[in-house]
Structure 1
Amino acid sequence: MVLEVIVQNGQEAVQAEKLGADRIELVSAIQEGGLTPSYGTIKQVLESVSIPVQVMIRPHSYHYCYTDGDLKIIREDIRKVLSLGGARIVFGALTKDNRIDEQILDTIIGTYPQLDITFHRAFDEVHSLDEAYESLIKYKMNVKRILTSGGEKSCIEGKWKLRKLVHIAKKMNGPDIMPGAGLTLDNIQGIHETVNANQYHFGKAVRIDQSFRNTFDEDVVKLIQKTLRGGS
């Protein structure tokens, strides 16, 4: 069972690792849903921890339909991550009609075939979850997981769709489904019993007072770990 948490800097990354997080997602501008961190922040985090670090690659928060200019920035940001010794990114791109932008994925993966990609919650805005998943299966050598709330605002509302997606992922041996958005200590047991995913993504729910302004709540993190790992 994999527990992934959001971090914003090196100090938080170190604390997340000490608390037993299995993987971290590094972002900036969390109030905008997460944007690409600075070069210095990426360097600091990669040098500070030994657990996997997925770096958000998102040039703006306006939409997920990227222009040629956006793509140039995206490619440069990915190049910087690789230059620092990282190879893991969080990324997603859609066409104007809300389908997976395979052209952009082809470009990025073709240029940087070593990438380990989490396709982020752009997935929740697609025209069809089933169709979008089928589109991403062909990239499973690079797109290792999909962060999603099942096309709904939160995992509570999307839990039955998440359950279906997890079933499809296991049946098709495609990218793993990683539920995220609205997960809390209070609801994770019920969601996990329904969805049965092998990894979960937490944000502010594992912070003191559920705020990204504060540090991690050690007790909450440990209770979530205990819940997901069957009390072990």
Structure 2
Amino acid sequence: MTETERPRLPLIEICVEGIDGLLAAQAAGADRVELCASLVEGGITPSFGTVRTALELATIPFHVIVRPRGGDFLYSEAEYRSMLADVRALAELGVAGVVIGCLAADGTIDEQRMSELAQAAGSLNVTCHRAFDMTRDPTEALESLIRCKVGRVLTSGQRDTALEGADLLADLVRQAGDRIIILGCGGLDPQNIAEVRRKTGVSEMHFAALRDVPSAMRYRNPKVGMGGTDLDREYRNTVTDEVLVAATIAAARA
């Protein structure tokens, strides 16, 4: 499916980690995928081997997050240069879109960097991720993104969940009009997704349907971990739950 072929609304985007997540999301009926690495950090740029494999296997469009690290969205000059290089490389590979976000220290959108990244993306779809939810003034931030020629913004209405942020999401949909797409997110599941759609009027919705599964490793070393203090993390994998994706999509369109 191409980006110009409009599926039945709401359009559903699934946030996934890696190839297996993409395959699960598209098998469950997703319209689009946001392809990431390390969702435990909120998503960072996946490897280009991952992106190339995704291009070979994907039957739906996918957008690639360009985020060099976890943490805040105030980047050093070297980090920003790496983001520009990633966007240009992804454009050459032919992905459907990129997902970016840069803030200034005062909590505003960094318009110079966002404009340059959008320009580097060329004809790709450009989404601002939830860096938007960390801005000091969402009304001002939305106008900034429009000036930067960003095509959509991922937001929970500056709250932890879309239900909590529903009033602001509805305001943003009205403010956006047909100038930018509001991609609603934040704790969406089969129990609440229809209510959020009804309250906000968003035409596109985004969620990650994840579950932990035990590692298939038979040998386990209990004395060492690969980071942090959770020694069991090396023997627990987080995957996209195909059944939950399908159930949430069905609930959104019921």
TM over 0.5: yes
Point out where structure 2 has 5 or more consecutive residues left out of the alignment: 1-8, 214-235
2:216 counterpart of 1:216: no
CA displacement at 1:103 relative to structure 2: 0.6
2:119 counterpart of 1:110: yes
Moved more, 23-32 or 43-52: 43-52
1:48-197 equivalences under 5 Å are 48-140=57-149, 143-170=150-177, 173-197=178-202
Aligned residue-pair number: 223
CA displacement at 1:78 relative to structure 2: 1.4
Aligned-pair identity in percent equals: 34
Question: Are 2:100 and 2:127, in contact at CA under 8 Å, matched by a contact in 1?
Answer: yes
TM-score normalised to structure 2 length: 0.82
Structure 1 residues 196 and 17: alpha-carbon distance in aligned structure 2, compared to 1, 3 A threshold: same
Question: Are 2:191 and 2:251, in contact at CA under 8 Å, matched by a contact in 1?
Answer: no
Question: Are 1:208 and 1:217, in contact at CA under 8 Å, matched by a contact in 2?
Answer: no
Rounded Cα–Cα distance in structure 1 between residues aligned with 2:74 and 2:239: 32
Q: What does residue 51 of structure 2 align with? A: 42
Question: Are 1:90 and 1:117, in contact at CA under 8 Å, matched by a contact in 2?
Answer: yes
CA displacement at 1:197 relative to structure 2: 0.6
Bigger Rg over Cα: 2
2:145 partner letter: L
TM-score normalised to structure 1 length: 0.89
Whose helix proportion is higher, 1 or 2? 1
1:146 partner letter: V
Point out where structure 1 has 5 or more consecutive residues left out of the alignment: none
Report Cα offsets for 1:164-209 as digits up to 9, x if no partner: 1111112xx2211111121111111221110111110011xx2346
Report Cα offsets for 1:131-185 as digits up to 9, x if no partner: 0011112234xx2211001111221211111111111112xx2211111121111
Q: What does residue 202 of structure 1 align with? A: 207
Give the secondary-structure state (helix, strand or coil) at the position aligned to 2:90: helix
Q: Choose between structure 1 and 2 for higher RCO, CA contacts under 8 A separated by at least 6 residues.
A: 2
2:194 partner letter: Q
Rounded Cα–Cα distance in structure 1 between residues aligned with 2:77 and 2:122: 20
Question: Are 1:94 and 1:100, in contact at CA under 8 Å, matched by a contact in 2?
Answer: yes
Report Cα offsets for 1:100-131 as digits up to 9, x if no partner: 11110222233342231110000001110000
Structure 1 residues 187 and 106: alpha-carbon distance in aligned structure 2, compared to 1, 3 A threshold: same
CA displacement at 1:87 relative to structure 2: 4.4
Rounded Cα–Cα distance in structure 2 between residues aligned with 1:160 and 1:120: 19
CA displacement at 1:212 relative to structure 2: 6.9
2:238 partner letter: R
